[in-house]
Structure 1
Amino acid sequence: MQEHIRQLFSENIQTMIASGESLAEPLENAAFVMVNSLINGGKIICCGEGSTAALANHMSALLLDQFETERPCLPAFALQPHHAGLNYNPQRDSDYLARQIKALGQTDDVLFVISLTTAEPSLIKAVEAALTNDMKIIALTVDNSGELSGLLNQQDVELKVPPHRRARIFECYTFLIHSLCELTDMTLFPQ
């Protein structure tokens, strides 16, 4: 069992190293997109599907409250998951995130979308709605160039994690979220 435990750590480290090589510049760009939005009165709207919805909530909570240092609250929120509505029907209502973006999203806002497959219909429709609202998009994705990736344009930032087991991807996404919060704090509130 201890050998398996060491292998788990090794997998995590390998995923992080591979991601660090390819994501330094996109991570910096994503931080600038967030900072510019916040400076211009925008907000960060976070969303995910399934397990990544929890990461979206985590991201918005870190921005609203604080990451590691005391600072003013930053305008951010996570979109409500599909089960929040009484009349939710998965065959009919894959646009539940898009409807929230249409109602709440504005031009200076950023949609922070977290996808494990880049093929989730609700996330694709959310990105389409954000593009219609002239919002910028930061997407955490797996490097497999799915439909969601194809919707992004030059003003948007995609943070592509190398494909590994879902647990390693989730761990890397959490690290990227923490890094973005730290970079945002460091830029807006230098010590």
Structure 2
Amino acid sequence: MQDHIKQLFTENIQTMIATGEALAAPIENAAVSIVNCLINGGKVVCCGEGASAALASHFSQLLLDQFEAERPCLPAFALVSQSSALQPDNQAKPEHLARQVRAIGQAGDVLVVISMTGEEHRLIKAVEAALTQDMAVVALTVDSSGELSGLLGPQDTELRVPAHRPARVFECYSFLLHAICELIDMTLFPQQEDY
């Protein structure tokens, strides 16, 4: 069992190294996109499904409250991934997240979408809604991402993790979001750089 534990750590480290080598420029682009949005009075809207919804909530909370250093709040929030409508069939509708994006999103805002497969219909609809609202998209995806990746344009940023195991992808996504938070803080509040 201890050999397997060591193997898990090795797999995680290898995934992180491969991701760092592949995504240094896109991570920088994602942070710059969010910084520009915030400087221009925009907001960051985050969404995911299942476990990635928890990451979306975590990321928005880090921006709203703080990452590692005390600083002013940044306008960010996570979309509600579960419906509490009175009509029970509403929970299955693929437009649930897209409706929130259309209601709240504005030109100049950024949608951070966290996808475990690239094929989640509700996330695809949310990205389509963001694009019609002239929002930029920062998408965390995996190697096999299909339809969601195909929606992204030159103003958008894709952080495509070179991994396939859901656990490794989730771990990597968490690290990527923390890295983006640190870059945002370094850029907007350089005097508080005590990392």
2: distance between equivalents of 1:134 and 1:84? 28
Q: How does 1:101-116 map to 2 (within 5 A)?
A: 101-116=101-116
Secondary structure class of the residue paired with 2:113? strand
Report what 1:189 is aligned to: 189
Q: Which range moves more in the overlay, 144-153 or 84-93? A: 84-93
**Equivalent residues of 2:44, 2:60 under 8 A apart:** yes
**Equivalent residues of 2:31, 2:180 under 8 A apart:** yes
**Equivalent residues of 1:144, 1:163 under 8 A apart:** no
1: distance between equivalents of 2:133 and 2:88? 24
Aligned-pair identity in percent equals 68
Q: Which range moves more in the overlay, 85-94 or 23-32? A: 85-94
Q: How does 1:1-191 map to 2 (within 5 A)?
A: 1-89=1-89, 93-191=93-191
Paired residues in the alignment total 191
| TM-score (structure 2 length as normaliser) | 0.95
2: distance between equivalents of 1:172 and 1:84? 31
Task: Write out per-residue CA displacement over residues 140-181 of structure 1, whole angstroms, 9 at most, x where no aligned residue.
Answer: 000114000000000000000012310000000000000000
Task: Write out per-residue CA displacement over residues 3-26 of structure 1, whole angstroms, 9 at most, x where no aligned residue.
Answer: 111011001001001101100000
Q: Which range moves more in the overlay, 28-37 or 142-151? A: 142-151
- What residue ranges of structure 2 are gaps of 5+ in the alignment? none
Give, in angstroms, the shift of residue 91 of structure 1: 7.9
Give, in angstroms, the shift of residue 71 of structure 1: 0.2
RMSD: 1.2
- What residue ranges of structure 1 are gaps of 5+ in the alignment? none
